[in-house]
Amino acid sequence: MLIYVSHPYQMKEENKLSAENIVRKLHFKNPEHTYLSGLHPFYFMYDEVDYETGINMCLEVLKRCDMMYVYGDWKNSRGCKAEIKFCEENGIPYKIINDHV
C-alpha cells in the first residue's frame, strides 16, 4: 500500500523533521508499505506559491494513495484538515495517529 503521511508544516523545521522521523520509523516497522510525507515533495516552495496551488499539489499526490495517516497538531493545521476533508470526499481511508510511532 502507498500511505500518505499528513503532518503540519507551517514553515517550522521541527515539523519537517518530525514528519521525516515518522516516515522513517514507519518504513522500518512496516517495510511492506510505502510511506510518503505529504509535505516533503513541496515544502521548499511553501512561500513561493499561493496556498490554493500548494494544497492542490498535495491533494494531487494524496489521490494516488491507498490510505492516509494523520500526525501532529492536525486540528490547528489548515492543510491537514483539507487533506482529511479530501479523504472523506473521495473515499480514501485515513487514521488519526495520536502517538509518534
Identify which of 3, 2, 5, 8 has the alpha carbon closest to the alpha carbon of residue 81: 8
Stretch 7-20: mean pLDDT: 89
Q: Which CATH architecture describes the domain 2-96?
A: 3-Layer(aba) Sandwich (3.40)
pTM above 0.85, yes or no: yes
Return the domain boundaries, the chain.
2-96
pLDDT in tens, 28-86: 999 999 999 988 887 777 778 888 888 999 999 999 999 999 999 999 999 999 999 99
Q: Which helix (H) or strand (E) holds 19?
A: helix 13-29
